[in-house]
Amino acid sequence: MTDVRPSDSVVSKLFRSEQGGHEQVALCQDRDTGLKAVIAIHSTALGPALGGTRFFPYASDEDAVEDALNLARGMSYKNALAGLDHGGGKAVIIGDPVVDKTPELLRSYGRFVASLGGRYVTACDVGTYVADMDVVAAENPWTTGRSPENGGAGDSSVLTAYGVFQGMRASAQVRWGDPTLRGRRVGIAGVGKVGHHLVEHLLADGAVVVVTDVRADAVERIRAAHPGVEAVASTDELIGAQLDVYAPCALGGALNDDSVRNLTASVVCGAANNQLAHPGVEKDLADRGILYAPDYVVNAGGVIQVADELHGFDFDRAKAKATKIFDTTLAIFERAAADGIPPAAAADRLAEQRMADRTPAESWLRPTVD
């Protein structure tokens, strides 16, 4: 066999990196509509890969492929710990959604997803919305995140916020011996679709809420509905404020060397994806005595919600499953304590264990023989 030398290429990462291990990557192009997309399937060990479609103006094609690979891998872990019979996948469409998104492009994308025969089930992500999924669904039966009028679950931020609240309750149980945020001071960075629902849950539970957002109108909406909610000018100011819980609900990378050093909160639990800016941050949190609820565990309510569409959406059934995020978060904290490792590492171990216990491409993928 010819010796293939390692490189920094995406192909090298796919086949030889520990971050790789993906089953399939599809590069999709339709010159007529301008579509350029990447569909990455990390694992189908638990069932068809499920994950959203991101529409983003990447600086390079290589950046788009790498993002799809990383996001797909993350979805495998998220779906495994959410108790879903789904593997992990993700798609990215390269372009500016404001300028480049058209119904024709979305329909073309839908046909590419359909060509995978159900190995990948798509949904919304950054740059795509419920109305877009309705268009994709016209060409692809393996589409979730659709509007209620088209048999979908609608806005998945509802159960995303609910799941984060359940993770926060579990964190309170471990930190203070009681699964409630009553009287606790909770700072939320980002009060958009998910964050504003989280505010409602916390206020109903008796928490004191402090918010910030780069969009002034998002903060004004919260303050108009709840004058008792405090607001600060920036995330840096929020991090440095006296808090019991810090909830990053905006961009990824929220937990970095500087923010961890300046945190006053003793619990971090939020909806943002990929909160750990780099490896080692989880240990820094643990060394400072800060309890970190892994993001992909507590923010899984949204994927639970869209996955339920495949069975004929029932909100109560999906909410009951999202409620179990409380138990899953507790189990991760218990595993972390028993193994002497940070919760993020414990979550990875539990997810990997569930995936390893199943044989890839089980009966869902095999043709039926009469």
Report the share of the chain in percent with pLDDT over 70.
92
Q: What is the 3-state secondary structure (H, E, C) of 244-310?
A: CEEEECCCCCCECHHHHHHCCCCEECCCCCCCECCCCHHHHHHHCCCEECCHHHHCCHHHHHHHHHH
How far is the C-alpha of 329 from the C-alpha of 191, rounded, in Å?
A: 23
**pLDDT, mean over the chain:** 91
Active site residue 193: no
Condensed to tens digits (0 to 9), the pLDDT of residues 242-293 reads 999 999 998 788 999 999 999 999 999 999 988 999 999 999 999 999 999 9
- 189 and 247 in contact (C-beta within 8 Å)? yes
Number of Cβ atoms within 10 Å of the Cβ of 51? 31
- 199 and 188 in contact (C-beta within 8 Å)? yes
- Does 12 score more than 80 pLDDT? no
Which strand (E) or helix (H) includes residue 350?
helix 343-356
- 299 and 166 in contact (C-beta within 8 Å)? no
| Catalytic annotation, pick one of 13, 36, 78, 90 | 90
How far is the C-alpha of 190 from the C-alpha of 262, rounded, in Å?
A: 18
Match 């109560």 to its residue by tokens.
316
- Does 370 score more than 80 pLDDT? no
How far is the C-alpha of 329 from the C-alpha of 347, rounded, in Å?
A: 9
155 vs 47, higher pLDDT: 47
Q: What pLDDT band is residue 154 in, cutting at 50, 70 and 90?
A: confident
Give the predicted TM-score (pTM) of the model: 0.87
- Provide the pLDDT for residue 365: 55
Condensed to tens digits (0 to 9), the pLDDT of residues 61-78 reads 999 998 899 889 999 999
